[in-house]
Amino acid sequence: MTMQTPHMLLASNIRFAAMLTAVGCSRMFIRHVLRDWNLSDHIDAAELVVSELVTNAVKSTGLTDTEPKWADIKAHHIVGVQLRVIDTSLYVEVWDRSPVNPVKQPQADDSEGGRGLFLIEALSRRWGIHRPPAGGKIVWAELELSNLTLPTGDHPRLPHRVPTAVRAPEGRAREMATTALMERVLVGLRSLA
């Protein structure tokens, strides 16, 4: 009888109102989860990737006003962020409801923006776009893991708390984000079979 090597599968996700403050909150989520999973060595790269992906999602579907009024945030202004680990790969995934694909912008030496997808390509093993049956799109990046150790479980896990000011409003878009991100987890589980 041969022993199979056990697979590692971890997943955690969160949803935010699609506004510029979601970028910083997404970075906090990354730090919290990766520390909890004993993957602190990968925080910097994952934070950069999630910053670019969430910024693109907010520009695509959210509010880009630097000081939006709470009344301006509607039920369709949602972004979902998910981290998944499958064996030696860390996936940073961001859901938004827009059907429009992100596009690499032509670069010039004096460009002030538009380098996000180039940065993601440089930091990740690969990246892509997934069209979940629930709707919208998930832009994902796969980062290679090194020094992989399982979470120790010697400290209680705290729930992820989202500040009220950036909490995703209830509604169909939030349900779509939740379903789409869980579908990605199921895809990951099927890949282990």
Domain map of the chain by residue range? Answer: 9-192
The b-or-e profile of 130-150 (16+ CB within 10 A means b, else e) is: eebebbbbbbbbbbebeeeee
- The pTM of this model reads 0.80
Mean pLDDT, range 9-37, rounded to an integer = 91
Inform me whether the pLDDT recorded for 181 exceeds 90. Answer: no
Give the model confidence (pLDDT) of 70-122 as tens digits.
666 666 678 999 999 998 999 999 999 998 888 777 665 555 556 778 889 99
The fold of the 9-192 domain, in CATH, is Heat Shock Protein 90 (3.30.565)
